[in-house]
Amino acid sequence: MHDMQAILDDIATKVTALPDRGKVATYIPQLACVDPDQFGMTVALPDGTVYSSGDAQTLFSIQSISKVFTLTIALGKLGDALWRRVGREPSGDPFNSIVQLEMEHGKPRNPFINAGAIAVVDAIMMGHQPKETIAEILQFVRFIADDNSICMDDRVAKSELLTGDRNASLAHFMASFGHFKNPVDFVLGTYFHQCSIAMSCEQLARAALFLVSDGLNTSNGTRVVSAQRARRINSLMMMCGHYDGSGEFAFRVGLPGKSGVGGGIMAVAPGKASIAVWSPGLDHVGNSKLGTIALEMLAERTGWSVFGH
């Protein structure tokens, strides 16, 4: 058995001493205000035990990590019919790219690029008002994290709405193919709110526990999804969770993971643990710089990898 606390403390000490922490995202003005000198990490075991180091209780904007949760909701509502709206191939392109959308007739490559996540929101709205869907997403996140204190940050959602021209372009472009079932503005408003969910590493690691144990949160006995669905969500995180950095993440860390421009990464070591790490500085493709290094160190020290044991 590993001395997890000692491993995490050591990783935190080592990564926070690194000179290059990457750059905080500035295209959403509210994210640009975050202090870059922060680092937190949590490992949650299937029995619910958590080990944390650094700023693991500080709330941060989960941004694209929320796409895992909306995908899970969408699969619950639509099942395999969801795959008519969105593909499941890595894009090899930046998260906000529009180029493939034209060639592929408005069907996004996967649910984790922005276009795909926006299409997923359209799929789950089913004619409801934005506030109903927003409440439903928040309710689901509170349920899987077993924590009713989790909230959205309206300032972040508004800030993104004001600067969201690229996402609006993606949404209108998809709608031009006749794919949307709800008004584009409703879908975008809901998407910006899901991205603005604020969570700590401890909350995020707990929320990911259902992906560790075949869809069952063994810490409280709640089944969230079937075993097959949990495996499929993990496979999508592995292939597409870090955009055009997904191959690099698989190579260096070897675990399914999902990043967000707030600097968070949620990762899953199937059967072993869930991991959340946060540091706001990003690398050149928009993934947490120290977060990735920390996960690489953790995988090396624990031997956790889906590619061997």
Residues that bind ligand DON (CB under 6 A): 63-64, 95-96, 114, 160, 167, 195, 259-261, 286
Note the residue count of the chain. Answer: 309
* Alpha-carbon gap, residue 253 to 267, rounded angstroms: 9
Among 52, 64, 91, 200, the active-site one is 64
Among 61, 187, 224, 243, the active-site one is 243
* Alpha-carbon gap, residue 296 to 299, rounded angstroms: 5
- 14 or 172: whose CB is closer to ligand DON? 172
Backbone angles phi, psi at 55, to 5 degrees: -85, 55
The helix (run of H) or strand (run of E) holding residue 236 is helix 227-240
- 72 or 167: whose CB is closer to ligand DON? 167
Residue 51 bears catalytic tag: no
- 51 or 249: whose CB is closer to ligand DON? 249
Token readout for 19 is 């000179």
Cβ of residue 207: shortest distance to ligand DON, in angstroms? 16
Burial 200-215 (b: 16+ CB within 10 A, else e): bbbbbbbbbbbbbbbb
Cβ of residue 262: shortest distance to ligand DON, in angstroms? 7
Q: Give bridge partners of residue 60 from the DSSP assignment.
A: 199
What is the C-alpha R_g of the chain?
18
Residue 261 bears catalytic tag: yes
Token readout for 227 is 């075993």
In this chain, which residue has its C-beta nearest to ligand DON?
64
- 95 or 210: whose CB is closer to ligand DON? 95
- 95 or 249: whose CB is closer to ligand DON? 95
Provide the 3-class DSSP secondary structure of residue 152: strand
Cβ of residue 28: shortest distance to ligand DON, in angstroms? 7
Among 51, 52, 67, 159, the active-site one is 67
Chain centre distance of CA 286: 13
Provide the 3-class DSSP secondary structure of residue 298: helix
Cβ of residue 157: shortest distance to ligand DON, in angstroms? 9
Cβ of residue 160: shortest distance to ligand DON, in angstroms? 5
Cβ of residue 193: shortest distance to ligand DON, in angstroms? 10
Burial environment of residue 307 by CB neighbours within 10 A (0 to 12, 13 to 18, 19 or more) = exposed
41: DSSP letter: E
What is each CA distance from 249 to 36, 91, 239, 245, 246, in whole angstroms? 22, 14, 9, 6, 5
Provide the 3-class DSSP secondary structure of residue 33: coil
- 86 or 195: whose CB is closer to ligand DON? 195
Residue 191 bears catalytic tag: yes
Q: Catalytic residue positions?
A: 64, 67, 191, 243, 261
